[in-house]
A and B are shown apart, each in its own frame.
Chain A
Amino acid sequence: MQKDFRLEWRQRAALNGMLLYVSSTVFVCYLSFSSRGGQLPAPAWNALFWIVLLFSAVNAVAKGFLQESRGRMLYYYTVVRPQAVILAKIAYNALLLVGLALVAFTLYSVVLGNPVQNVPLFVGNVLLGAVGFAGTLTLVAGIAAKATNSSTLMAVLGFPLMVPMLLLLIKVSKNALDGLEFEASRSALLTLVALNLIVGAVSYLLFPFLWRS
């Protein structure tokens, strides 16, 4: 398990690319809104932030499976159990997305202002979201990598599957923006954790079948 993780870590060539991708997306947002002048209204700020995160997540996770060569897959297959592979991949993607999300949040609040009133809740929510995106998208990336037109398929399969999560995330982060206390968003947060667990468990159970082909 640890070894897999290190293997994943070794091919982090995409990491710098992803960082640049996030920064340039945020900057494009900034430039396109700066012409209007003044602060963005909070709901728009929120929506834009999650759209940036969504697209960078899809791009970042898609790299993981699509770039892998056939030979190396075969090598993994002989060495480790499939469950270890999926867990390592989810863990790696989760870390990657958490990093990306934090970088995105920092940059975003620097250039577009930071209207968040309850920062710990917002950051916790972003972390949960990053882990959830990683769980959902890792299996989707694995599925899409098997098909012929993978990059289109990745978007078609991934976006609808992420909507339940995204709805909850946007709701909680709206609460954090408005500075509501923790009680107001507790049930949504719990559902989010439950959804993450469901997605993780289903990926864990299903991946061995996907791996075999």
Chain B
Amino acid sequence: MKNWWKVLTVVLLLYVAVAGLLMPVPRLAILNESIRNLYFHVPMWFGMTAILVASVYYSVRYLRTPTPELDIKAHEAARTGILMGCVGLATGSIWARYTWGAWWTNDPKLNGAAVAMLIYGAYLVLRSSFTDEQQRARVSAIYNVFAFAVAMPLFYILPRLTDSLHPGSGGNPAFAKYDLDSDMRLVFYPAVIGWTLLAFWVAQLATRISVLKLKVYEKQLA
């Protein structure tokens, strides 16, 4: 079956939605039931990283052999990555409201994620400021690779250098430690796979729409 991974996505995400909200979770002070956000907030960043890696991959391929399809793939993958990042920020913000008592705190991890979103927002601005399509494709592919190289340290290196309120750094418990018991792993790993696959599915659909638009446009010109 060709579309097995789409079936898998649907099954996994249904499972995550049901089991993630109903399965027992460990009782921890302060976190309480909000620990279930682990199944929704954390996989967003996994999915975003995966789809941005795919975007950089297509950008590099575009620079080697320029075809409009590769440019569209890189663009749509980056857009999906931005969407995942925004959802990740939103879920994190809601969680922070009920756990830390504020929508946003001045925390290196949060600020790093927000700035990385700005970097990719600049990618969209850059794309819209070209009129020539080939030049737009080439320059934005270059910027995409550059942005990836600068944005990833923001996520994975800088927050580790400083203390942070965020779970997983500054001595706060994270999913690698005692608080993620085997019950939670049963939901967390499928959640990561499911949301990542969903990101690729969204990117694929968006790519198809863009390719179709391009074809219609070319037909109108002819």
Contact = CB atoms under 8 A, between A and B. Distances in A.
B154 interface: yes
Contacts of B131: 148
Contacts of B139: 143, 146-147, 210, 213
A143 B118 contact: no
A187 to B, nearest CB: 6
Contacts of A212: 138
Given A161-B147, A209-B63, A147 B130 contact: yes
B125 A160 contact: no
B143 interface: yes
B129 A153 contact: yes
Contacts of B121: 160
A2 B72 CA distance: 40
Contacts of B108: 167
A139 B146 contact: yes
Interface in B11-44: none
B126 interface: yes
Interface in B69-116: 108, 111-112, 115-116
Contacts of A203: 146
B126 A157 contact: yes
B67 interface: no
Interface in B140-197: 141-143, 145-147, 149-150, 153-154, 157-158, 161-162
Interface string A187-202: 1100100010011001
A149 interface: yes
Interface residues of chain A: helix, strand, loop or mixed (majority)? helix
B122 interface: yes
Interface in A117-156: 136, 139-140, 143, 146-149, 153, 156
Nearest to B155: A164
Given A146-B135, A147-B130, A161 B119 contact: yes
Contacts of A157: 122, 125-126, 143
B125 A156 contact: yes
Interface residues of chain B: helix, strand, loop or mixed (majority)? helix
A77 to B, nearest CB: 16
Interface in A28-79: none
Contact of A199 (B112, B116, B134, B149): B149
The size class of the interface chain A forms with chain B is 20 to 34
Contact of B158 (A136, A143, A164, A209): A164
Contacts of A110: none
A147 B111 CA distance: 29
A202 B152 CA distance: 14
Contacts of B119: 160-161
A157 B122 CA distance: 6
B126 A153 contact: yes
B150 A143 contact: no
A206 interface: yes
28 contacts: A140-B146, A143-B126, A143-B139, A146-B130, A146-B135, A147-B129, A148-B130, A157-B122, A157-B126, A160-B115, A160-B118, A160-B119, A160-B121, A160-B122, A161-B122, A161-B150, A163-B118, A164-B115, A187-B161, A188-B161, A191-B157, A195-B150, A198-B153, A199-B149, A199-B150, A206-B146, A209-B142, A213-B135
Given A157-B126, A163-B154, 10 more contacts: A143-B139, A143-B143, A153-B126, A157-B125, A160-B115, A161-B147, A191-B153, A191-B158, A206-B146, A210-B138
Interface of A: 136, 139-140, 143, 146-149, 153, 156-157, 159-161, 163-164, 167-168, 171, 187-188, 191, 195, 198-199, 202-203, 206, 209-210, 212-213
Top-7 shortest CB links A-B:
A160-B118, A160-B119, A163-B115, A147-B129, A202-B149, A206-B142, A157-B122
